[in-house]
Amino acid sequence: MFTTHVASMLIRRTADTMLVFVDYEHADGRTSAHGERIQAARTWITYRLEDLSGMPCHLVRYDRISQSLLDRLDARAIFISGNSISPSAYDPMAVEPIHTILRKTPLPVFGFCGGFQLLAHALGSAIISLAPRPEDAEDESMLITADGSTFEFGYHPIDLAPGSATHPLLTGVGDQAVFRHAHGLHVSAPPDGFETLASTSATPIQMAVHAERKIVGTQFHPEYWTDEHSAGKTMIANFLNWAGIEVP
């Protein structure tokens, strides 16, 4: 009786369609001084995606995702988190399975910050450091780290490319929408088939989209929207609608 009941519950659960949120954090990041905060944020973002979409969201580490898992979950879209560790620290064998998925999947994909970099790298683009901050720069969003590197940080606007304001992903976002930024690396050039929709003075490719495959990457963090700066929530809701997932 118990076994039958459990089996029935499992059948119902796997029959639900789901979002999949890939945690791209390296093991060194999870065990660092800020590791607990990173892991807590992944859960918080998972709940945000569930609340926006009205469907379950499965959180999985980047080296545990597989096509069979996506099939079992009947995944409707893939989201990819940011990360705090240099891409060079990742074992190429560990990232190859998700690279393969990103090259081939018909599912809509949204990569946030390091997730955009993972996506772009899988599709042939290089990931490079931000250009040095000019000595006379007055842009407070561009910081210099302890090792002398440039880092774009804080809540500040993006600049939309000419004509991009009418894109479905940007509906209701506004011309001077503010998003969270936290990166010292960026995508050197958009992958083949991608259109650049936004930039900042520090980061030439802040947002890129492949319209046919329904893939989007942002160097900024729309998932960290706030009550004051809510454009990220609007953008993710737009993505869900763009991907054919009706937002409640």
> Which positions are annotated as active-site residues?
113, 221, 223
| C-alpha span between 101 and 213 (Å, rounded) | 13
Distance CA 44, CA 50 (A): 10
**Crossing angle of helices 114-122/92-104, nearest 10°?**
80
Q: 47 near 55, Cβ under 8 Å?
A: no
Q: Give, for 231, the enclosing helix (H) or strand (E).
A: helix 231-242
Contacts of 13 (CB under 8 A, 6+ apart): none
Helices marked H in 24-109: 27-30, 35-53, 67-73, 92-104
